[in-house]
Amino acid sequence: MPDDPSAVVTALRDTANAFSTYQTRTTFEENLAPEDPETTQLRKACRLLEACRTLRANDGFYTSVIEMSFAAVERTLEFYVLSQSTDTIDNFQNHEYAFDRAAALGLFSQATCDDLYQLYSDNRSAAYYRDTVATQEQAETMFTLAVEVHNFTTQFLQRTHECRCSE
């Protein structure tokens, strides 16, 4: 067996340490706070959409735009569920939960949430793991879908003031 590169081992140790102590830190990403999980999920979605905008402006990066757009949809649905129920962030142990709960709580119909989840389960990992290559059309339509879900949700809840997409 070869010796593992010391730079990788050191980076792995440092990263594991950073993640093991993040709950005790007081400096978090701007506008995100662990004591406000619903708004944090919304603003994580805002950040993901902003990252997509940045990548799209630099031409390409279709795989990353698709991945982050799917994540933005999921974070937006989590925001909705957390703000409309007694669910906690710990309830989100699988990806389907946010979609099912969003339907149960009346954000979209069950059929639309099922279609959103089917799109997610059929295609999210495809851009990363299959022998396919993401296309511009897929990235653009997925980003548009993520923005529409995000905008509708914040307007539906009358919480656009919490959104940081326009900053």
Determine the angle formed by the axes of helices 136-156 and 62-84, rounding to 10 degrees.
20
Q: What is the reported pLDDT for 81? A: 97
CA 63 to chain centre: 14
Q: What is the reported pLDDT for 33? A: 67
Give, for 104, the enclosing helix (H) or strand (E): helix 95-104
Three-point CA angle 63, 112, 107, nearest 5°? 105
Between residues 160 and 82, the one the model is more confident about: 82
Q: Taking the domains of the chain in order of start, what are their residue ranges? A: 31-162
- Residue 81: strand, helix, or coil: helix
Give the model's confidence band at 97: pLDDT under 50 very low, under 70 low, under 90 confident, else very high: very high
Is 154 a residue whose pLDDT tops 70? Answer: yes
Q: What's the rounded mean pLDDT across residues 15-28?
A: 71
Q: What is the mean pLDDT of the chain?
A: 88
Q: What is the reported pLDDT for 161? A: 84
Architecture of 31-162 per CATH? Up-down Bundle (1.20)
Give the closest residue to 63 by CA, choosing from 149, 118, 129: 129
* Backbone phi and psi for residue 3, each to the nearest 5 degrees, phi listed first: -75, 140
Q: What is the reported pLDDT for 30? A: 72
Determine the angle formed by the axes of helices 62-84 and 110-123, rounding to 10 degrees.
140
Q: What is the reported pLDDT for 167? A: 46
Output the six-digit token pair for 149: 């879900």
Give the closest residue to 83 by CA, choosing from 123, 130, 33, 39: 39
Give the model's confidence band at 124: pLDDT under 50 very low, under 70 low, under 90 confident, else very high: confident
